[in-house]
Amino acid sequence: MYTIHQYREDIYKVVAFKGVRDPDSYLFRETENVQHNDRKLDNNFSRARSMVLQYALCNPWDYFFTGTLDRKKFDRYNLDTYAGKLMQFIRDKRKKYAASFQVLLVPEHHKDGAWHMHGLVFGLPETALCPFAPPAPQKLIENGFLNWPDYMEKFGFCSLAPIRDPIATAFYISKYVSKDLSQRAKELGKHLYFHSRPLKKAEKASDVYWHNQRLEDCCTHEYDFCKVGMVEGVNWMFPYQWDGVDFPCEELPSMRPIAEPLQDFDPQTIDPFWDGSFEQSTFL
């Protein structure tokens, strides 16, 4: 069985299940033993990264955001306080600007253990932003980064970069949901990412109840009970639930798996803190 979800007009996710999706099936039944903590952390990590990628692909983001904390204003090591005040700040600015702008934010550690935020923003009024000028670092000026003075006054340094490659940027922001960050899940109720509401999610396009080699070829990552893959470059969906009867395979449109979404992407155009490396792990 395959389930297909639409993320954007031309991007779909294909999930090939290896067993039946019956919740009472022994294939999906947990043992009586409680899961180990590392298994829980892996599950939280995978779920959070998948949701960040989904939100990142399904919404029309304008800017890549980086925000830090001024040590004179906040405890840079207290993420809960920072995140709480930041989300309240966003709600307050919505009222001030009379604009329902949206955000998707992922925290990251500085090398010294302090926190900062990376994220995506859309709908923020241009009147709330301004270009960087000397004595700001030259790379901020040359790459067209923008300052958000209200944030800077409240919290500290920030930058917003216009998004030129929305697909690569979506995969890039998902990499910040790291296994190190997932250690927060050991504390009950800790979030691995933050977002405003409402944000669009992927929509189910179809179920396919029959083996299909072209769908199999799209599944580039394999897990215990399923195989998954992201498909780009086509605008298609199965118009109904297909059982393999009287539906020629050659009528399916061409499909191209998203194999290396960051291969030709230059993060320094949007992320002033990029250290020149990518995390080598699945983005699904």
Whole-model pTM? 0.85
Report in angstroms the alpha-carbon separations of 94 from 85, 89, 186, 216: 14, 9, 33, 45
DSSP character at residue 183? G
The dihedral over CA atoms of 170, 172, 174, 179, expressed in degrees to the nearest 10, equals 170
Q: Are strands 203-208 and 2-8 parallel, antiparallel or unpaired?
A: antiparallel
pLDDT at position 183 is 60
pLDDT score, position 186:
55
pLDDT (mean) for 193-202 = 94
Buried b (16+ CB within 10 A) or exposed e, 161-199: bebebebbbbbbbbbbbbeebbebbeeeeebbbbbbeeb
pLDDT of residue 246 exceeding 80: no
Note the pLDDT tens digit of each residue in 61-106.
Answer: 999 999 999 999 999 999 999 999 999 999 999 999 999 999 999 9
